Amino acid sequence: MSTKFDVIVIGGGPGGYVAAIRAAQLGLKTACIEKWLDKEEKPRLGGTCLNVGCIPSKALLDSSHKYHDAKASYGVHGISVGDVAMDVNTMVDRKDKIVDQLTSGITGLFKANGVTSFEGFGKVLANKKVEFTAHDGTVTVLETDNVILATGSVPVNIPPAPRTGDIIVDNEGALDFREVPKRLGVIGAGVIGLELGSVWARLGSEVVVLEAQDSFLSVCDQDIAKEAAKIFKKQDLDIRLGARVTGSQINGEEVEVTYLDAKGEEQKQTFDKLIVAVGRKPFTQGCFSDDSGVNLDERGFVFVDEQCRTSVPGVYAIGDIVRGPMLAHKASEEGVMVADIIAGHKAQMNYDCIPSVIYTHPELAWVGKNEQELKSEGVKYKVGKFPFAASGRAMAANDTDGFVKIIADEETDRILGCHIIGGHAADLIAQAVIAMEFGSTAEDIALTVFAHPTVSEAVHEAALAVDGHAIHIANRKKRK
C-alpha cells in the first residue's frame, strides 16, 4: 500500500479515536489503527474505555443502583414494590448492547469524517513509518508525516493472584459475571475496585476489599476519604487496609486468599470470585522498533513535553502511556490538542484542571489541589464546606450523604481545589472545573445566581462558606 497519510493514529480508544476525528475535521488525511477484538473476535473501536472500562462499568453501576433503590429506598417515598429480583443475565446483556451501540457509533463517525480504519496492530518505525500487521498476519508499511501514539493501558498482574479462568479475574472478567457471587474478594481499594465491589455488593455479594496501603484513598482529600470510608462501611463493603496479599489457591469453584493484615499476621479468606484491581500500566511493549528513536522510561511510559511531543519530531503520544492521570477525558483532550498542533493551530491543555471521579454511590469527584498537598507545599488557604444534608433538593431526593468542599487561596481568594462526595458529584464537579479554568475566585461563585432548588446550590453555599457567608448552615467564621 503506497498511500501516504498526514496523520496515523495508533489506538482507537478515547484518546486515539478523538484525535483521529479531530485531525480529519481539520482537513488532514487520517488513519487509525486499532487491534481490539470483542468476545466474538470481531474488531471494535473504543479501546478499553468503551469495551471493558468506563462505559460498561457505569451500565452495571446504574443497573445495580436502581435495584438497590427499589429494594431498600423506595419505601420512604411511599412506593411499595413487593419482592424485588435482579436478572443478572438481562443486566449484563443490557451492558453489552450499550457497548455495541457506542462502538458501532465510532465506526460511523469515522466514515462520516473520512477517517481510514485499519484493524490490527501498529508499530512505530524509524523515519515516521508505521508497520501495520492485520489480524490475518499480513504486514504493510504505511507512510505518514505525523504519528499519534494512543495505545492505552492494561491491568497490572500480581504474582500472588494470577488470573485464572473465571474465578480470579481482572476488571474485564468482573463485568461478565452471570450470577451474583456469594463471597467476592477484591484486591485493591482504588477506583476500579470500589466501583466493581459496589456493583456486586448491591446485588447481595459479601464483599471484602483487601488494600495494601495503610491509608484509604490517599489520592483524595482526606475529608472526602474519611466520609467515603464511613459510608462504604454502612453499605457493607468490608475494606481491610494494610492487607498485603501473599498467595492464592483455587480449590474447585472457590479461591482461598492468603494475606498479611495490618499487624503483619497471616490471614486466610475464601471467596467464590476474586477481582484483581491493583492498577494499570502503559501498553507500549512491542509498539516501537529498536531504531524508532522514541524514548521510554523504565516503567514503559513515553517521554513527552507539555504538548505531547516525543523525542522524535512528528511523533506524539497521548493518554495512559504518558505522564499524568490515566483518565479517558484527559486522553481525549490531549488528542484534540495534538491534532490542532499538527494542523498548525495553537493549542495547550491546563493539566491543573483535570477532574477525577469515582462512580460509587455517593460519587466522589475532585479537581485541583487537596488540603494535604497544599500543606506540604506551604500554601496558605481557606476552606468552605456545605453538607448535602442541608440541601432542600437533596432532601427531596432522599440523597443527603456527603458535602461540597472548596479550597481557595488565603490572599487572592482564587479557587485552588474542589472536592465533592455526594449524589451527582460527577456532574457538579464540572462547575468547579469551569470556574478554575477561568481563574475564578470563591467570591465569583458566591456572587453567581444558582437555580433553586438544585443540588448545585451546595457548590454555591460552599463558596459562600469560604469566607463565613453561607446562608443555610451556621458559619464557623465571622462575617466580614
Active-site residue numbers?
A: 452
149 is in an annotated binding site: no
The answer to whether the annotation marks 326 as part of a ligand binding site is: yes
The answer on whether 122 is annotated among ligand-binding residues is yes
Closest CA to 384 of 464, 443, 474: 464
Rg (CA), the chain: 24
State phi, psi for 384 to the nearest 5 degrees: -125, 130
Beta bridge partners of 256: 249, 270
What is the torsion angle, in degrees rounded to the nearest 10, for the CA atoms of residue 38, residue 44, residue 46 and residue 52?
-10
73 is an annotated ligand-binding site residue = no
Does 189 show up as a binding residue in the annotation?
yes
27 is in an annotated binding site: no
192 marked as part of a ligand binding site: yes
Is 320 labeled as ligand-binding? yes
Residue 116 labeled ligand binder: no
CA nearest to 404, candidates 380, 437, 439, 435: 435
Known binding residue 87? Answer is no
How far apart are the C-alpha atoms of 91 and 167, rounded to whole Å? 20
**Is position 195 annotated in a ligand binding site?**
yes
Query: Distance between CA atoms of 23 and 8, rounded to whole angstroms?
Result: 10
Cis-peptide, bond into residue 362, ω within 30° of zero: yes
Q: Are strands 183-187 and 206-211 parallel, antiparallel or unpaired?
A: parallel
Residue reference for cell 483518565 = 327
Q: How far is 36 from 257, CA to CA, in rounded Å?
A: 32
- Angstrom CA distances, 187 to 152, 154, 164, 252, stand at 22, 16, 15, 20
Q: Is 248 annotated as a binding residue?
A: no
259: three-class secondary structure by DSSP: strand
For the chain, the maximum distance between any two Cα atoms, rounded to a whole number of angstroms, is 73
The answer for residues whose C-beta is within 8 angstroms of residue 264's C-beta and 6 or more apart is none
- List CB contacts of 109: < 8 A, sequence separation 6 or more: 17, 21, 115
* Residue 439 labelled as part of a binding site: no
| 211 annotated binding-site participant | yes
Binding site residue list for NAD(+): 188-195, 211, 279
Binding site residue list: 58, 122, 151-153, 188-195, 211, 279, 320, 326-329
Binding site residue list for FAD: 58, 122, 151-153, 320, 326-329
